[in-house]
């Protein structure tokens, strides 16, 4: 190690403006070797600073750090806690035009976008006359919400409702919050064709199927009754005439508008009364014998039930190729969503046709699996912001957990 006095002397000469060459010549005259001069010129001691803190100082620093972490968590985490219950409501029309005394039907889709796993909600459906804002009928139900639910709902149009345009409003109440969605509906006049053979006193008839534009009532003769419910019994020119009533349930002919007549159209009637238990049995069969289950689905003549059945087979097999066979877009999207969840593959969500249902599919992975890699794929900006907030909260929690682990 070079002499400290020589190092200090060289520094003093440099501060006075002498260059290195002049300093070397000067030191050579006083007998210093090249090695001594070079070591002194190149010497750059490492300075080590040590700060000694008392236990009290360390405790105060830790206390201040914990205080600021607490304030940050309160300001950042509390708003997210307050929105732990968050619902998205969507209505899809099925049959939104009906006569008085008939029912409209629609699909309600509820998506749980918050962090709460399962809770009950009150669902209120109202049919409103726009001009008067009068509620002509309503239906209230209670449901438990977990992640995503899609169910079909029917509401009966009152007999006294006038033909015209109405609004269906669905309100979901939970805590002090509400989710609201609306659909336009129409009440139409009766489209039944009035005839002299429909067994009803209508048109300008004086009796049932007689008088007015029909044959005079006095020409009906009880003796002409052939005891066949599918004929209209009349007397014409002193002879009995038994005219067939078309359509008529009970004539062993499956005619138009007779899908619900079990006697004449057993196959169509049976398929129209398929229950959820039947679909569940087919879904269970699909786990071991998908080909046979698919045959049962294809035998169903009601399109939506057939599509739902095929979707169940795809879900049981975790195979999205079954979804392609579904004609109804809503049920097809639901098929993709269910298979994405059951197979834990969020890439299947991309197959869904509508952005809202696609976003709901992605949010399922965020909430159930804490998979925040899908945030950038969500199109709805509010949902995307919620996803990013949950991601940041997760990262903060992870960093805090790592900091608390002993080294």
pLDDT digits 0-9 by tens, 110-120:
877 666 677 88
Overall average pLDDT of the 355-361 stretch? 88
* Cβ-contact 292, 285 below 8 angstroms: yes
Mind listing the domains of the chain with CATH numbers?
4-42 (no CATH), 87-187 (2.60.40.150), 267-404 (no CATH)
Q: Which of the pair, 293 or 224, is modelled with greater confidence?
A: 293
Q: Considering the chain, what is the average pLDDT of its residues?
A: 77
SS3 156: strand
pLDDT of residue 404: 61
Looking at 51-55, 57-61, 273-277, 370-374, which range is the least confident one?
A: 273-277
Alpha-carbon gap, residue 84 to 179, rounded angstroms:
14
End-to-end CA distance of the chain: 38
Cis peptide before 113 (omega within 30 of 0): no
Q: Which of the pair, 391 or 146, is modelled with greater confidence?
A: 391
Alpha-carbon gap, residue 235 to 221, rounded angstroms:
6
Nearest Cα to 88, choosing from 108, 66, 118?
Answer: 108
pLDDT digits 0-9 by tens, 144-200:
877 777 788 899 999 888 888 898 989 998 888 888 888 888 898 865 566 676 666
Nearest Cα to 362, choosing from 338, 376, 378, 351?
Answer: 378
Q: Across 51-65, 74-88, 361-375, which has the greatest mean pLDDT?
A: 361-375
pLDDT of residue 139: 93
Q: Across 77-81, 148-152, 337-341, 387-391, which has the greatest mean pLDDT?
A: 337-341
What's the whole-model pTM score? Answer: 0.40
| DSSP line for 249-302 | TTSS---TT-TT-TTT-HHHHHHHT--HHHHHHHHHHHTT-HHHHHHHHHT--S
Only one residue has tokens 């035998």, namely: 299
Q: Across 223-227, 236-240, 364-368, which has the greatest mean pLDDT?
A: 364-368
Assign 143 a pLDDT band (cuts: 50, 70, 90): confident
Q: Taking the CA of residue 296 as centre, how many other CA atoms within 13 Å lie in the half-sphere pointing to its CB?
A: 20
As beta bridge partners, residue 244 has 231
As beta bridge partners, residue 98 has 187
Nearest Cα to 245, choosing from 77, 150, 237, 253?
Answer: 253
pLDDT of residue 252: 75
Max Cα separation, the chain? 159
């Amino acid at each position: 190690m070079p002499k400290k006095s020589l190092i200090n002397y060289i520094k003093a000469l440099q501060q006075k403006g002498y260059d290195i060459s002049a300093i070397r010549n000067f030191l050579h005259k006083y007998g210093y070797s090249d090695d001594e001069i070079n070591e002194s010129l190149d010497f750059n001691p490492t300075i080590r600073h040590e700060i000694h803190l008392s236990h009290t100082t360390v405790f105060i620093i830790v206390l201040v750090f914990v205080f600021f972490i607490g304030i940050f968590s309160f300001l950042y985490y509390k708003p997210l806690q307050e929105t732990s219950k968050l619902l998205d409501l969507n209505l899809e029309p099925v049959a939104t035009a009906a006569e008085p005394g008939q029912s409209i039907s629609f699909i309600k889709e509820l998506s749980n976008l918050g962090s709460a796993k399962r809770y009950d909600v009150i669902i209120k459906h109202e049919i409103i006359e726009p001009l008067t804002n009068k509620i002509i009928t309503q239906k209230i139900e209670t449901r438990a919400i977990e992640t995503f639910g899609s169910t079909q709902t029917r509401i009966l149009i009152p007999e006294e409702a006038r033909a015209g345009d109405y609004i269906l409003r669905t309100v979901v109440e939970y805590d002090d919050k509400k989710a609201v969605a609306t659909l336009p509906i129409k009440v139409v006049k009766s489209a039944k064709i009035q005839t002299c053979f429909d067994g009803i006193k209508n048109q300008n008839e004086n009796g049932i199927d007689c008088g007015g534009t029909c044959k005079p009532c006095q020409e009906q003769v009880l003796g002409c009754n052939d005891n066949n419910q599918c004929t209209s019994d009349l007397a014409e020119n002193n002879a009995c005439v038994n005219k067939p009533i078309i359509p008529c349930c009970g004539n062993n002919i499956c005619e138009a508008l007779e899908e619900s007549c079990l006697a004449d159209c057993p196959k169509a009637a049976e398929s129209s009364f398929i229950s959820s238990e039947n679909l569940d049995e087919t879904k269970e069969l699909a786990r071991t014998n998908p080909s046979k289950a698919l045959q049962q689905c294809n035998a169903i003549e009601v399109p939506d039930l057939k599509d739902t059945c095929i979707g169940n087979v795809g879900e049981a097999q975790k195979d999205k190729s079954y979804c392609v066979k579904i004609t109804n877009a809503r049920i097809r999207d639901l098929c993709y969503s269910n298979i994405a969840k059951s197979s834990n593959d969020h890439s299947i969500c991309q197959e869904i046709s509508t952005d809202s249902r696609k976003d709901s599919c992605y949010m399922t992975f965020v909430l159930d699996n804490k998979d925040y890699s899908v945030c950038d794929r969500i199109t709805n900006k509010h949902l995307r912001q919620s996803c990013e907030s949950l991601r940041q909260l997760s990262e903060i929690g992870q960093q805090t957990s790592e900091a608390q682990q002993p080294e």
